[in-house]
Structure 1
Amino acid sequence: MKILRLVTSFRGNDSQSFQLGNTVVEMIKAQYKNADIITRNLAKNEMPHFNDVHFTSFITPVENLSDELKNAVSHSDKAVKELIDSDIIVIDVPMYNFSIPSSLKAWIDHIVCKLP
């Protein structure tokens, strides 16, 4: 069992969404003792916001990718692989300005635009 946990609050341990995420993960671990948990803290290690370089990296054949485009596509490739390889996804999501944090929005953009 693989669990992907996305932390999106910049408040860390003081965040209620982080505390709720801890509770959810502990409940899952109680059921699946050997669960492998991958935690991605998008507040501390933000995905770059999607731009024309990322889009260009998706439509350029692999053999023609420059170093800049390889770097751009690597963020999406890693995020998609982690998502596909996971059985359960736990997303700690606070609400900022009546919306989700921009770091989570960036992660979603990379996933949706790159999914096979």
Structure 2
Amino acid sequence: MTKILHLDSSPRGQHSVSGRLAGEFIGAWQAAHPDDEVVYRNLGRNPISHIDESWIMAAFTPPAQHTPDLTAAIQLSNVLIEELLECDRYVFSIPMYNLSVPSVFKAYIDQIVRVNCTFKVTENGYEGLVNGKKMLVITARGGIYADNSPMADFDFQAPYLRAIFNLIGVTDISFIHADGLSMGEEARDRRLNRVQDEISALLESW
């Protein structure tokens, strides 16, 4: 049995393109793999807290020395990291906000990227501790940021996500970009049709 972590990061609910596409992927996957388990979080509708000074103190203090306040400060991070490690695969729906990720997803990243929990520092640099996982990121973008496009250098979303998850050991990452959504109805429909084909193809190989 495979355990999948499904995170939505748009606050738009049923109006979210990235959320709808990820939901369709998960639904088709579950239909084909009914024994698999899906753990779902809606970060857009239920934002998690940003890290603060107490969190930082707790993260760099041995657990045996934690005061009750430090234990409370790091509790959410512990829960999210345990959830991340227990799951085998990840499906993240992430709209592009201002060329990058929504702040709610950045808050999630800051909670799970934690030294000696999801990565460690060695004499050779960073070593990821979240190994053997697969990750799918479905994005929604108003413009087009493909490698050969004029806006390619403005994509701070996909490169960042790849880099930060590579750092913690997640290297098998697939991206499906629903882009060009603000470039007219015809272009939008054409692109969404292509994305549906990409999702169908990935379901066969993922």
Aligned residue for 1:94?
Answer: 95
| 1:115 is the counterpart of 2:118 | yes
Aligned residue for 2:71?
Answer: 70
Amino acid at match of 1:95: M
Q: Separation in 2 of the partners of 1:8 and 1:21? A: 11
Moved over 6 A (4+): none
Q: Separation in 2 of the partners of 1:69 and 1:46? A: 21
Q: Secondary structure at the match of 1:47?
A: coil
Q: Separation in 1 of the partners of 2:94 and 2:39? A: 17
Aligned residue for 1:59?
Answer: 60
Aligned residue for 2:106?
Answer: 105
Greater radius of gyration (CA): 2
Q: Separation in 2 of the partners of 1:98 and 1:74? A: 31
List alignment gaps of at least 5 residues for structure 1.
none
Q: Separation in 2 of the partners of 1:46 and 1:26? A: 24
| TM-score, L = length of structure 2 | 0.53
Which protein is richer in helix relative to its size? 1
Q: Separation in 2 of the partners of 1:34 and 1:103? A: 30
C-alpha displacement at 1:64, in angstroms?
A: 2.5
Aligned residue for 2:151?
Answer: none
Q: Secondary structure at the match of 1:43?
A: coil
| TM-score, L = length of structure 1 | 0.90
* Greater RCO structure (CA 8 Å; 6+ sep): 1
RMSD of aligned alpha carbons: 1.4
Aligned residue for 1:25?
Answer: 26
C-alpha displacement at 1:19, in angstroms?
A: 0.3
List alignment gaps of at least 5 residues for structure 2.
120-206
C-alpha displacement at 1:29, in angstroms?
A: 1.1
Q: Separation in 1 of the partners of 2:111 and 2:85? A: 13
Q: Separation in 1 of the partners of 2:27 and 2:98? A: 29
Which protein is richer in strand relative to its size? 2
Q: Separation in 2 of the partners of 1:115 and 1:72? A: 18
Q: Separation in 2 of the partners of 1:86 and 1:46? A: 21
* Pairs within 5 Å for 1:13-52: 13-52=14-53
Q: Secondary structure at the match of 2:7?
A: strand
C-alpha displacement at 1:52, in angstroms?
A: 2.0
Amino acid at match of 1:62: P
C-alpha displacement at 1:27, in angstroms?
A: 2.5
Q: Separation in 2 of the partners of 1:115 and 1:26? A: 29
Q: Separation in 2 of the partners of 1:104 and 1:78? A: 16
Q: Separation in 2 of the partners of 1:40 and 1:86? A: 13
Q: Number of aligned pairs?
A: 116
Q: Secondary structure at the match of 2:95?
A: coil
Amino acid at match of 1:87: D
